[in-house]
A and B are shown apart, each in its own frame.
Chain A
Amino acid sequence: MKWKHKDLLGINLLSKEEIEYLLERGKYFREFLDCSPKKMKYGEGYCLVNFFLEPSTRTRVSFETAGRLLGMEVVNFTSEASSFQKGESLEDTAKTLSRMKFDVLVVRHHQSGVAEYLAQLLPLHVINAGDGMREHPTQALLDLLTLQRKFGYFQGLKVAIVGDILHSRVARSLTLGLKKLGAEVFFSGPPTLLPLAMEHLGAKIIFPVEEAVKGVDVIYLLRIQKERQEAGYFPSIREYAHFFGLKEKWLDRENSRPLIMHPGPVNRGVEIGYSFTEEDFSLIEEQVTCGVAVRMATLETLLQGEEQ
């Protein structure tokens, strides 16, 4: 496939075929990850900077691993260590990084739209690792790869996403991806965190959660942030856990039990109670491994596009 994007900013900008291509390469890298020793020379000579202005060890380490496994040089630039806090503007900092001649910039920022802004400003490849409440495309790709490996198809697959949809870039990107691939998506959670306008993403809102998860193949639980309670969206963690945390009766069916996914890290006792075993949510571990694979696929694809 001839790749025509300089950057990976969001699932919204990708066609069905482009998503399928990235998943195919992701599948290749996922299999590669099961071999040892695993070092590729493909990315040698290329340099990646992780530009993380919002803390996230997991995603940053995943990108760092993907880059190194491809043979790239990786530099981390995180908010704690930066001069950024001393009043330097985003534009100045980004331009400085660009002048250091990095090839790929992976950016995470709390403002929606920052990845796009940097992509227009800078000549290098920009990968969005989460911008505000907008998109988190590599998370969606890793979730899609996990589902593809498990089910082998998307057409007609039923996925319920439960929790704080309003603030979730994970839910946005994943829903856009699932819809493009032909899956059905249902949203549920506290109504304060699930305004009706969320249906513009192509999902159907169903209350209560018990109804939304009826007959689905997958229940995707979103991580709930303590600060949403402080901001008044729901009254307490114990009430959230009681009504919106995973219930055995959501899984209890005659035929196949729905599979459980979560972007991690799981708040044990909140989204998933202590009564559930590792086996109940084994896909969550697979999601982590698929994360490295789809990030390798993304880096490879963007750099390859450059060669063409």
Chain B
Amino acid sequence: MKKILIKGGTLVFPQKGVFQDVDILLESGLITRIGKGIEDSRAHLINASNLLVGPGFINIHVHLREPGRETEENLLTGSRAAARGGFTSVVSMPNTHPPIDNPILVRYLLLRAKEIGLVNIFPVGAITVGLEGKEMAEYGLLKEAGVIALSDDGRGVQDARLLYLAFQYAQYFNLPFILHEEDENLSRDGEISEGKVATLSGKRAIPRVAEESLMARDLVLAYRTGARVHFTHLSTSLEVELLRWFQEKMPVSADVTPHHLLLIEDDVLGLGTEAKVKPPLRSLEDQKALKEGIKEGVISILASDHAPHPSEDKSRSFSEAPFGISNLEITVPLYAKALIEEGIINWVELWEKLSYNPALFLGLDNKGILEEGRDADITIVDPGTRKRVEVSNFESQGKNCPFENWSLPGWPVYTIVDGRIVMAEGSIVESEFC
């Protein structure tokens, strides 16, 4: 494997919260040197002047649709989209067909991921068999097969006793939970957020309590059992407050999606089904609270909830169309717009939430940190240049994206995984150079 020397850039050290203008050398899948004026004539050279170089981004929430719906997305198209989006690692949710509730399926996914060899894919195992919310899945066997966390994403676990036992049992195997909170008796067949738009448009409302009440219950369950839990895709201000309150008492974390930071319920009127998503887009006040939570560090991880759907499905009537937004390759520029351009956080903090913190939560000790001896998973971002979003050019098969034609800053320009360049200047590098 060839060496890679990245020169002239600004290195981002999220673990220390600093930038430094130094060079970095990668060799045999590891970071081998960091310092000023490194020279190596045998190394492949990347000129990184005016670019930011940091540990690879880790996306804690994506849907890759394999197995079962490979024509909508699969490990290959999803990996390409991730590489293009600057993600060196993605955490794939288990709500496939069949769901990832069995060690054989985990082994299959990991073999496929290895075969594709673009980005690291970390499968999540189901909390309950078939995501049906009735019985615990085999956490020990799932962990042995390679799952990194547990989730029933797409659904909340309705049965409190089941989750109470799951929280206790999973600790034996050191598995954390990624929780999608939704009380189905409260969300029912709701389509968009309760509020002004639902009232005026006559669409069925999803109340905030659907997420908040289940989150409150699960915070209590986690507190009493000692389970490590992470709440994904927060959408309301009260959820941020709940989290803030419990963070005084225990380690607990949460993430958001870019769309909840850039769109609100009013946008559903113009964007139609492309803005139909769960949890639903909420009010401007909720959005402000999410941004405040990010600024304060209460929300410590930024995710995608990349949810590709075929155009046929999204072009159905509003009520019939599925929930979800495809955003994997523009997640970083979307966050750059929502958080950096608005002055809420800077690039080091963004890197912390997109790389260091997810690695810490997932127990990926050699990722999320720029340091000699750590994994050579690197993302290089051009913070200065703006580009328009062209959904038709997505590597992802999911073209269901409400951000068509938006002008965004902060695009990833190189993605390096395990010491190999997988994306350069926005294009996938098809085969390894030697």
Partner-B contacts on A (CB < 8 A): 190-192, 195, 207-208, 232-236, 238-239, 242-243
Contact = CB atoms under 8 A, between A and B. Distances in A.
Interface of B: 129, 135-141, 161-162, 165, 168-169, 171-172
Given A232-B135, A232-B136, A235-B136, A192 B141 contact: no
A233 B168 CA distance: 10
B99 to A, nearest CB: 14
B141 A207 contact: no
A236 B172 CA distance: 15
B171 A191 contact: yes
Contacts of B129: 235
A233 B138 contact: no
29 contacts: A190-B169, A190-B172, A191-B168, A191-B169, A191-B171, A191-B172, A192-B165, A232-B135, A232-B136, A232-B162, A232-B165, A233-B165, A233-B169, A234-B136, A235-B129, A235-B135, A235-B136, A235-B137, A235-B139, A235-B169, A236-B138, A238-B138, A238-B141, A239-B140, A239-B141, A242-B140, A242-B141, A243-B140, A243-B172
Given A191-B169, A195-B168, 13 more contacts: A190-B169, A191-B168, A192-B168, A207-B171, A232-B135, A232-B161, A233-B165, A235-B129, A235-B139, A235-B169, A238-B138, A239-B139, A242-B140
A208 B139 contact: no
B134 to A, nearest CB: 9
B141 A234 contact: no
B165 A208 contact: no
Contacts, number: 40
A235 B134 CA distance: 11
Nearest to A195: B168
Specify the main secondary structure of chain A where it touches its partner.
Answer: loop
A190 to B, nearest CB: 6
Contact of B169 (A192, A208, A238, A242): A192
A123 B91 CA distance: 68
Specify the main secondary structure of chain B where it touches its partner.
Answer: helix
Nearest to B161: A232
In the complex, which of the residues A192, A207, A208, A235 has the most CB atoms of chain B within 10 Å of its own CB atom? Answer: A235
Contact of A234 (B161, B162, B169): B169
Nearest to A234: B169
A242 B142 CA distance: 12
Nearest to B144: A242
In the complex, which of the residues B135, B140, B141 has the most CB atoms of chain A within 10 Å of its own CB atom? Answer: B140
A208 B135 contact: no
Contacts of A238: 138, 141
A235 B139 CA distance: 8
B335 to A, nearest CB: 37
A235 B171 CA distance: 14
Contacts of B139: 235, 239
A234 B172 CA distance: 11
In the complex, which of the residues A191, A233, A236, A238 has the most CB atoms of chain B within 10 Å of its own CB atom? Answer: A191
In the complex, which of the residues B161, B162, B165 has the most CB atoms of chain A within 10 Å of its own CB atom? Answer: B165
Contact of A239 (B138, B161, B171): B138
A236 B103 CA distance: 13
A102 to B, nearest CB: 43
Contacts of A190: 169, 172
Contacts of A232: 135-136, 161-162, 165
Contact of B172 (A195, A208, A233, A242): A208
A107 to B, nearest CB: 32
A236 B18 CA distance: 48
In the complex, which of the residues A192, A208, A238, A242 has the most CB atoms of chain B within 10 Å of its own CB atom? Answer: A192
Nearest to B134: A232
A191 B224 CA distance: 13
B144 to A, nearest CB: 8
B138 to A, nearest CB: 4
Nearest to B136: A235
A208 B140 CA distance: 12
In the complex, which of the residues A195, A234, A238, A242 has the most CB atoms of chain B within 10 Å of its own CB atom? Answer: A234
A208 B170 CA distance: 12
Contacts of A234: 136, 169
A192 B169 CA distance: 6
A91 B135 CA distance: 39
A207 B138 CA distance: 18
A225 to B, nearest CB: 16
Nearest to B169: A192
A87 B235 CA distance: 56
Given A235-B136, A235-B137, A242-B140, A207 B172 contact: yes
